[in-house]
Amino acid sequence: MENLLSRKIGDKLYYIGVNDRETALFENMWPLPDGVAYNSYVIKGSKNILIDSVKSNTVEECLAKLREVIGDEDLHYIIVDHMEPDHSSGLLELINSYPDVKLVANKRAFPMLKSYYNIPEDRVIEVKDGEKLEMGDTSLTFYMTPMVHWPESMVAFEEDTGILFSQDIFGAFGTLSGGIFDDQVEFDKYYMEEMARYFINIVGKYAGQALKALEKLGSLDIKMICPDHGPIWRKNPQKVIDIYKDLSSQKTEDGVLIVFGSIYGNTERMAEILARGVAEEGITNIRVRDVAHTSQSYLLRDCWRYKGIILVSCSYDRSIFPPMGFLLKELDHQRMKNNVWGIAGTYSWNGGAMKELKDFVERNKLNVLELQPEIQGAGNDEDYRNLLELGKQIARAVKEDK
């Protein structure tokens, strides 16, 4: 049959993934300005094997592509590499369409299959770390990659072809619009940013486990990488492995991010003075972001990326400005260790912001500069000189730490 919906990407391998341009927020939190792809694959052999399902809102399209590939034949196996519902909520529809299909998963997925979809254990073949499973003329070897992204996450490797099915690992936000391979898309111009954001938003808190997973996969002779989101890597899989190593080890770039929380503009003026101080020390890579107007998704990505970070916030009643408080809470999970931090707080009558900023840097044991201006109201000339100096100090720290 002609492949007009599906794409043939190997001798027996087909891409049957789908683009979701309907979901506005991934995990109902992270913006998807250009949607997201749920990649799914089918191996058409003496046994037909589907690797990773899709989100339920797109499963009909996936099924249409699957039928185009296997026609009236049965689907024999579904590999469940990862249970997050962006890949598993289409399972019931697939099982309804192919009632005899067997699922393949590891033990940690079993209670999830039961609790989310009431799928009983006898429908599932268990695989263990390093185990090879023969399925007709295809065999896949499974490697556990816990917490990248969930505890049951695993990857599947086809030794005969060197194809790695990597689930969330090497994933990116953004649909696959036309091109699906690394050599068919503008990766550096577009997907690199979306891969960084995906990693930091979704996997960043498990960066240590991501490094362990990469070590584990390091001995495999990988010729192609088929992730569950983002482009398929057939031309240069080593490139995405190297990118992931940099992301997992939080390799920062020389530059300073200033995030401000301001209600009537006084604290924003302080952010401007801080940025001027940074620039006067010769740093050109400066970003100033309004915490109330910038999605946490982009703020977290930038915090992970820039070597120097200054948080400057006003108070709200007796606490920190709530959007900044939410950012601090998110940053608590990130376990960042390669940044230099600066903090400054403003208040109207009884403080609030500075105490919470200090608590934040202390509980996370962050490398923070000692100059920590706390300013009442709109501030005065001396306050502005201190802010200028803080900007200069962080710029020097960034440069010295090369």
Binding site for ligand FEO (CB under 6 A): 82, 84, 86-87, 149, 168, 228-229
Minimum CB distance to ligand FEO, residue 264 (Å):
40
Decide whether 197 or 229 has the Cβ nearer to ligand FEO.
Answer: 229
Decide whether 38 or 384 has the Cβ nearer to ligand FEO.
Answer: 38
Minimum CB distance to ligand FEO, residue 286 (Å):
33
Element of type H or E holding 258: strand 253-261
Which residue has the closest beta carbon to ligand FEO? 84
Decide whether 76 or 82 has the Cβ nearer to ligand FEO.
Answer: 82
Decide whether 30 or 321 has the Cβ nearer to ligand FEO.
Answer: 30
How far the first Cα of the chain sits from its last, in Å, is 57
Decide whether 201 or 315 has the Cβ nearer to ligand FEO.
Answer: 201
Taking the C-alpha atoms of residue 27 and residue 84, their distance in angstroms, rounded to an integer, is 10
At 12, the amino acid letter reads K
Token pair for residue 347?
Answer: 């208040």
Number of Cα atoms under 13 Å in the Cβ half of residue 384:
10
Decide whether 207 or 369 has the Cβ nearer to ligand FEO.
Answer: 207
Taking the C-alpha atoms of residue 37 and residue 54, their distance in angstroms, rounded to an integer, is 9
Token pair for residue 395?
Answer: 């710029």
Taking the C-alpha atoms of residue 309 and residue 339, their distance in angstroms, rounded to an integer, is 7
Minimum CB distance to ligand FEO, residue 320 (Å):
31
Give CA 236 to chain center in angstroms. 21
Taking the C-alpha atoms of residue 365 and residue 362, their distance in angstroms, rounded to an integer, is 5
Decide whether 20 or 374 has the Cβ nearer to ligand FEO.
Answer: 20
Decide whether 148 or 394 has the Cβ nearer to ligand FEO.
Answer: 148
Minimum CB distance to ligand FEO, residue 295 (Å):
19
Taking the C-alpha atoms of residue 143 and residue 156, their distance in angstroms, rounded to an integer, is 7
Decide whether 83 or 369 has the Cβ nearer to ligand FEO.
Answer: 83
Pairing of strands 77-79, 102-105: parallel
Minimum CB distance to ligand FEO, residue 55 (Å):
9
Minimum CB distance to ligand FEO, residue 89 (Å):
11
Taking the C-alpha atoms of residue 346 and residue 353, their distance in angstroms, rounded to an integer, is 7
Minimum CB distance to ligand FEO, residue 173 (Å):
10
User: Residue 174 has what DSSP assignment?
Assistant: B
User: Residue 160 has what DSSP assignment?
Assistant: T
Residue 212 contacts by C-beta under 8 Å, 6 or more apart in sequence? none
What ranges make up the beta strands (E) of 168-213? Answer: none
Token pair for residue 366?
Answer: 């962050």
Minimum CB distance to ligand FEO, residue 91 (Å):
14
What is the four-CA torsion angle of 342, 305, 292, 323, rounded to 10 degrees?
Answer: -70
At 228, the amino acid letter reads D
CA distances 204 to 38, 120, 197, Å, are: 20, 33, 9
Taking the C-alpha atoms of residue 169 and residue 183, their distance in angstroms, rounded to an integer, is 19
Decide whether 20 or 86 has the Cβ nearer to ligand FEO.
Answer: 86
Minimum CB distance to ligand FEO, residue 229 (Å):
6
Minimum CB distance to ligand FEO, residue 26 (Å):
8
Decide whether 66 or 83 has the Cβ nearer to ligand FEO.
Answer: 83
Contact between 389 and 281 (Cβ < 8 Å)? no
Residues paired with 398 in a beta bridge: none
Minimum CB distance to ligand FEO, residue 29 (Å):
13
